[in-house]
Structure 1
């Protein structure tokens, strides 16, 4: 099976970069990166020291419902190119491990699908999850803070 890591949609990111409201209706905060641990969820690269970035609340689900987690993410403050959808683990996934969890077509967690997975095993874990009939897509989240990193879909 082939999978694809997917970044946030460009249309959504450009709205936020233009001052549009985040998931809580707030204007994204603007900061300057020190170059350490500021992963942009659009280009899926780390934000370089000295570059501006946004901090905002993001909900990677289409509607509010009990499983629609919202949390902080970072984006480049200026336009950046969206990461190419590929099976290769994105640059931002540089920690030792991540939460990898499956969701159904109803955008709810598929129980028993989540786990803390070593980074080098994420692709294999996602492929295994997609063998289950009820899994529509997978999230990769920080194992320490539960922050959304990216989405994985079947190719």
Structure 2
């Protein structure tokens, strides 16, 4: 199991790729027919998938449709995500994001071929996700985990070893 010291963490969080988001911003739409329309964040809990933190009141953000998987797949789901309206460098820390590292949440597990591994999908309460993610990624048939919100089950970020 991963120790609490951040230098020994064995799981890595991945936000939405900044290049994918820049392409959406340039196009002015998200690829599913939704206009890229910036607005001021309320600061009421909009989780930003570009930098893996909550938006602060007044920040310019946008709500777009996004699919974590780029390849065609039965598990390719499109759903709503908040992102910064302007270019964001993303999240490049070697540990889980502080503001989005606790549940409640749904942890969806996927095999190396991109197929969902239903056996290991996990519902977590208000707890630190790292020990659960560490356990799931230790399974030989789990390559990736998608962290999602619990009620709407919106995508937050991907975790790998």
Question: Is TM (by shorter chain) over 0.5?
Answer: yes
Q: Is the 8 A contact 1:41 1:74 kept in 2?
A: yes
* Offset, 1:89: 3.8
Decide which of 36, 39, 43 is 1:31's aligned counterpart: 39
Alignment of 1:24-63 (within 5 A): 24-63=32-71
Q: Is the 8 A contact 2:18 2:87 kept in 1?
A: no
Runs of 4+ in 1 over 3 A off after TM superposition: none
Name the CA shift for 1:130/1:57 in 2 (closer, same or farther; >3 Å).
same
Superposed CA deviations along residues 50-77 of structure 1, whole A, max 9, x for unmatched, are 1211111100002232211110000010
CA distance in 1, matches of 2:47, 2:129: 18
CA distance in 2, matches of 1:85, 1:70: 26
SS at match of 1:22: coil
TM-score by length of 1: 0.88
SS at match of 1:18: helix
CA distance in 2, matches of 1:85, 1:151: 14
Q: In terms of mean alpha carbon deviation, does 11-20 or 133-142 score higher?
A: 11-20
TM-score by length of 2: 0.85
Gaps in structure 2 of 5+ consecutive residues: 3-9
RMSD: 1.9
Aligned to 2:79: 71
* Offset, 1:145: 0.5
The number of residue pairs the alignment matches comes to: 153
Decide which of 99, 103, 109 is 1:102's aligned counterpart: 109
Aligned to 2:144: 137
Aligned to 1:6: 14
Name the CA shift for 1:88/1:119 in 2 (closer, same or farther; >3 Å).
farther
CA distance in 2, matches of 1:18, 1:39: 22
CA distance in 2, matches of 1:126, 1:93: 10
- Pair 1:127-2:130 in alignment: no
* Offset, 1:88: 3.1
SS at match of 2:86: coil
